[in-house]
Amino acid sequence: MPSGSDTTEEAVSGTSPDGPVPPAETGSTAAPRRPGRLRRTGALARREALRTGLAVVSGIALALAFPPYDLWPLSLVAVAALSLLTRGRTVRQGAWTGFAFGLPFFLILLKWLHVVGWDAVVGLSVAEALFVTLLGAALAGTSRLPAWPVWAACLWVAQEWARDRLPFGGFPWGRLAFANTGSPFTPLAALGGAPLVTFAVALTGALLAACAATLWGLREKGSLSRAVPALEAFGLAAAVTLAGAVVPVPTKADDTVDIAVVQGNVQQPGMDFLGRPMRILDNHATATEKLAADIKAGRAKKPDLVIWPENSSDLDPFQYPQAYDRIDEAVKSIGVPVLVGALVDHPTKKGYVFNEGIVWDPKKGPGASYTKQHPVPFGEYVPFREQLSKIITRFQRVPRDFYPGDHTGVLNVGPAKLGDVICFEVAYDEIVHDTVDAGARALVIQTNNATYGRTGQPEQQLAMSKLRAVEHGRAVVTAATSGISAVVAPDGKVTHQIPEFTQGVVSARIPLRDETTLADRVGAAPEWALAIVGLLSCAAAVVGGRRGRTKDEKGQQ
């Protein structure tokens, strides 16, 4: 009986039972050549065109789930689509689908970077899409495992865990949780922070995909009993979606504080927002003095403290006496402590600056301060400056590197113990968590978004403030040079807001809370646990695949 193998003695020796086998002649009797690489690539492209196109559309849909569009249900649709597009595929095919999904997603989400340059948009989008490429590969590899929607949700958390940390400290923009800051999933942040919200959104989307896949399989020969798994998947998706409704979001506080947030505005949006020296500082000082005049005239209530945004002093007040005097003038006019944002020269390292929030007292002058811990790479400092500046001359527009701080931003500003977080730091779980853990009773986000005004970036950052409010049960005050300055209650609702590129002052009474949420107490544990489970599911898929191949090989022998 033939073995089906071409390694028999006859095949090896080139003979047959009837005698020697003559060599193959060139010409019409020769074995057909394999298609050329170009032809094979074209055939592959045609075969994958529809799937790739659907991945691109799904990535665009996910981008529209984020501010300024705020169509959060599309986050569920996008997750479900990626799950279906990678289901049953090879790891390589899943990786390509993940990239086709991730690239348009980030191109739209991060288009606000076009102010710096479209090459920056494309470069960062490609870098971030590589993480989604790995996600697509992992989704494909685990899609044959039992309970695959659970592993898919864990893998979404693992992907965000990696993007939050790599490279250069990570860039966590585009987390599913940040698209769901006003959805039924939002209260889950109080239990497990942003990672739990991402997990719930991804699990719901994957369950919807499982439901759709089951129903599609019944399109020819279906029965009610075979539709039960689809109904179960849909029921679980609904249960996860509604779970947030039973999560308590505490807002009660023992005491309150009256604040005033000053948005001084800038001369112009874009890279050259600074204008002439002292212009931004004078804007904030003048707005504060107007508030002081209104208080004196009885038109406004005197606050307990005033908050200025990041970079509200465009000159180092400790190096330029005119800047120091202008701040001191404004603070004395209002008569209460002011949290001032300023760039301060490093005392010993030439060419380095601190990005600081400084508590300025009307009697004692400047006091305690917080230095931004996580400067933005290529924006506030340039890694490998000497080498890269020769290749990319634009980096010369970042003349000095920001030096990172080494402690949290808990500051006593008048009667309030506030946690200062500067600009993009609001996107990083650990920084905000550590600030609350150190005793912050309310959070302040000092930010300067003038470079990205009217691009959607300020709305995306404000959404993060809303999630942090629920996650930590704290009022969050966002103070921006050009907008959007806002006050967010502990339940995540925006109570006060100043539009972009408007000089104004918002006065509000905010709660000061000491009670911590479960998310505060468990910290990063849920994220690590879910990410590890996701990675273990990949290992299980690899082991299962090897066992399957081994069985097939034994069956052929």
φ/ψ (deg, to 5) at 412:
-90, 105
Measured distance CA(187)–CA(476) in Å, rounded: 16
Query: Could you confirm whether 221 is annotated as catalytic?
Result: no
Is 546 buried (19+), middle (13-18) or exposed (0-12) by CB count in 10 A?
Answer: exposed
Cα 225 to Cα 208, 229, 394, distances in angstroms: 19, 9, 64
Measured distance CA(258)–CA(415) in Å, rounded: 10
Q: Of 128, 160, 310, 471, which residue is the catalytic one?
A: 310
SS3 17: coil
Residues 6+ apart with CB under 8 A from 150: 203, 206
Measured distance CA(38)–CA(27) in Å, rounded: 24
Query: Could you confirm whether 423 is annotated as catalytic?
Result: yes
Nearest to residue 207, comparing CAs of 232, 226, 225? 232
Is 51 buried (19+), middle (13-18) or exposed (0-12) by CB count in 10 A?
Answer: middle
Structural tokens at position 307: 């908050």
Cis before residue 108, ω within 30 degrees of 0? no
Which H or E element spans position 549? Answer: helix 525-556
The total of other beta-carbon atoms located within 10 Å of residue 88's CB is 11
Structural tokens at position 118: 């479209």
Q: Are 91 and 140 in contact (CB under 8 A)?
A: yes
φ/ψ (deg, to 5) at 290:
-65, -40
Q: Of 154, 211, 423, 538, which residue is the catalytic one?
A: 423
Nearest to residue 308, comparing CAs of 329, 331, 274? 331
Measured distance CA(301)–CA(319) in Å, rounded: 34
Is 351 buried (19+), middle (13-18) or exposed (0-12) by CB count in 10 A?
Answer: exposed
Strand order in the sheet with 410-413: 410-413, 416-422, 442-447, 476-480, 485-488, 494-498
Q: Are 190 and 181 in contact (CB under 8 A)?
A: no
Query: Could you confirm whether 310 is annotated as catalytic?
Result: yes
Distance of CA 272 to the CA centre of its chain: 26
Measured distance CA(121)–CA(104) in Å, rounded: 11
Q: Of 160, 372, 471, 500, which residue is the catalytic one?
A: 372
Q: Are 534 and 138 in contact (CB under 8 A)?
A: yes
Active site residues: 310, 372, 423
